[in-house]
């Protein structure tokens, strides 16, 4: 399979090059991950972020693990080393289920082939699987876009939270993919982007990539969303997801829940755009979704500037859970589903 190169990531066959999202939009820097440890650090430190992008990155990390151990003659040892690789990659971030989904997919290819193929052949199959995950992600996002854009009217203004765009996926995006597809279909769509404190994915990344694509974008701080809705400026909210439970509860970037409550209050549809790989039917409901807590300095500092008294207590959950009753519809690559979610989610997997 051909190597892949997008704005977010490039697989060279020997390494994974990632755009360093920590510096955007001020600087366009790249990091080259030459081994699986580099990949693990890049996910943990948010060089790369966004559920589908994390999944694809981890898959390439797994391949780098295999390549590192390719000269081992003992298959048992090869398997053991890859088990360790998987464990290290899976400990990077807990909430986005795409990470575990991608690693399980890689492990399945490994286990199905290790007994009757050489280590070299298995490594090649693993590389093909990671590339497949990456290429599929783009196709899936385009299908999500197509299904979702039917929900938007010409002239609509959409509010989005965090970054569920090309940068959060291999390319095209989920929530922003829906907006892209509507624009590609000739609809005039405007976007309001929440800045998304504390990490500012909206202000730094969503605004950057939408402006690059020529989509009319207005930035607001998170606490303005309610007032903007009250003024009648928003026709729909579209966000991505890090994990959707079997009952349709949605974990996404902190602040999503508040936006969903506000949308309900103002009678605005609240859509979640996500691939099937983000739906975790092993997780019964939102209470079971692990919510990552990140370093308090993300709240204390804006870049290198401390904004608050040094000793202040900080609570920094990176995600929240929006209960399914606030979700108007979930836009997947298969179809758009609505309540009752549990029944309709299970049907997606039949």
Interacting residue ranges for ligand MRU, rule: CB under 6 A: 49-52, 96, 162, 164, 168-169, 174, 201, 240-242, 252-253, 318
Respond yes or no: is residue 242 known to be catalytic.
yes
| Beta strands at 270-273 and 236-239: parallel, antiparallel or unpaired | parallel
Please identify, using beta-carbon distances, which residue of 1 and 302 lies nearer to ligand MRU.
Answer: 302
Q: In the bound complex, what is the minimum distance in angstroms from residue 201's beta carbon to ligand MRU?
A: 5
Q: How far apart are CA 146 and CA 59, in angstroms?
A: 26
Taking the least distance from each CB to ligand MRU, the nearer of 9 and 96 is: 96
Q: Which residues lie below 8 Å from residue 41, measured CB to CB, with a gap of 6+?
A: 47
The owner of tokens 């009757």 is 116
Give the tokens for residue 231: 């003024």
Specify the residue, 22 or 117, whose C-beta has the smaller distance to ligand MRU.
22
Q: How far apart are CA 16 and CA 32, in angstroms?
A: 6
Q: Write down the least CB distance from residue 318 to ligand MRU, Å.
A: 5
- Cβ nearer to ligand MRU, comparing 123 with 196: 196
CB 165, min distance to ligand MRU, A: 7
Strands (E), 173-312: 190-194, 217-220, 236-239, 243-245, 250-253, 270-273, 279-280, 301-302, 305-306
Give the chain's length. Answer: 350
Please return the burial class of 294, using the count of CB atoms within 10 Å of its CB with bins 0-12, 13-18 and 19+. middle
Nearest-approach distance from CB 33 to ligand MRU, in angstroms:
17
Q: Pick the closest to residue 285 from 230, 322, 242, 330 (CA basis).
A: 322
Report the interhelical angle of 175-184 vs 119-149 (nearest 10°): 60
Of residues 210, 197, 164, the one with CA closest to residue 50: 164
β pairing state of 329-331 and 336-337: antiparallel
Closer residue to ligand MRU, CB minimum distance, 240 or 248: 240
Nearer to ligand MRU, 79 or 170 (CB): 170
Q: At closest approach, how far in Å is the CB of 123 from ligand MRU?
A: 29
Give the pairing type, strands 305-306 and 301-302. antiparallel
Q: Other CB atoms closer than 10 Å to residue 290's CB: what's the count? A: 13
Residue nearest to ligand MRU (CB): 240
Residue 230 CB, shortest distance to ligand MRU, in Å, is 24
Q: How far is the CB of 121 from ligand MRU (least distance, A)?
A: 33
Name the residue nearer to ligand MRU (CB basis): 51 or 321: 51
Catalytic residue among 242, 249, 280, 320: 242
User: SS3 for 157?
Assistant: strand
Positions marked active-site: 242
């Amino acid at each position: 399979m051909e190597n892949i190169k997008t704005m977010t990531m490039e697989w060279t066959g020997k390494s994974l090059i990632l755009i360093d999202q920590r510096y955007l939009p001020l600087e366009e820097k790249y990091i080259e991950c030459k081994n699986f440890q580099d990949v693990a650090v890049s996910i943990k430190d948010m060089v790369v972020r966004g559920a589908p992008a994390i999944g694809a990155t981890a898959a390439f990390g797994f391949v780098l693990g295999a390549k590192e151990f390719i000269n081992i003659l003992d298959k048992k040892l090869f398997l053991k080393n890859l088990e360790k690789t998987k464990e290290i990659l899976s400990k990077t971030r807990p909430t986005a289920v795409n990470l575990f989904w991608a690693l399980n997919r890689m492990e399945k290819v490994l286990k199905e082939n290790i007994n009757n193929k050489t280590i070299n052949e298995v490594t090649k199959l693993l590389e093909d699987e990671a590339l497949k995950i990456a290429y599929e992600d783009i196709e899936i996002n385009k299908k999500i876009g197509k299904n979702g854009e039917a929900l938007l009217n010409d002239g609509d203004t959409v509010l989005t939270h965090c970054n569920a765009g090309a940068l959060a996926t291999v390319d095209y995006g989920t929530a922003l993919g829906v907006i892209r597809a509507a624009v590609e279909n000739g609809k005039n769509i405007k976007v309001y982007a929440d800045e998304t404190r504390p990490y500012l994915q909206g202000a730094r990344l969503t605004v950057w990539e939408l402006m690059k694509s020529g989509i009319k974008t207005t930035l607001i701080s998170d606490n303005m969303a309610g007032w903007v809705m009250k003024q009648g400026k928003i026709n729909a909210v579209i966000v991505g997801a890090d994990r959707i439970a079997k009952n349709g509860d949605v974990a996404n970037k902190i602040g999503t829940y508040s936006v969903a409550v506000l949308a309900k209050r103002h009678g605005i549809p609240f859509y979640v755009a996500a691939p099937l790989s983000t739906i975790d039917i092993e997780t019964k409901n939102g209470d079971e979704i692990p919510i990552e807590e990140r370093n308090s300095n993300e709240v204390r500092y804006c870049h290198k500037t401390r904004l608050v008294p040094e000793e202040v207590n900080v609570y920094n959950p990176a995600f929240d859970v929006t209960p399914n009753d606030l979700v108007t519809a979930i836009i997947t690559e298969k179809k758009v589903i609505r309540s009752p979610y549990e029944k309709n989610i299970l049907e997606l997997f039949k």
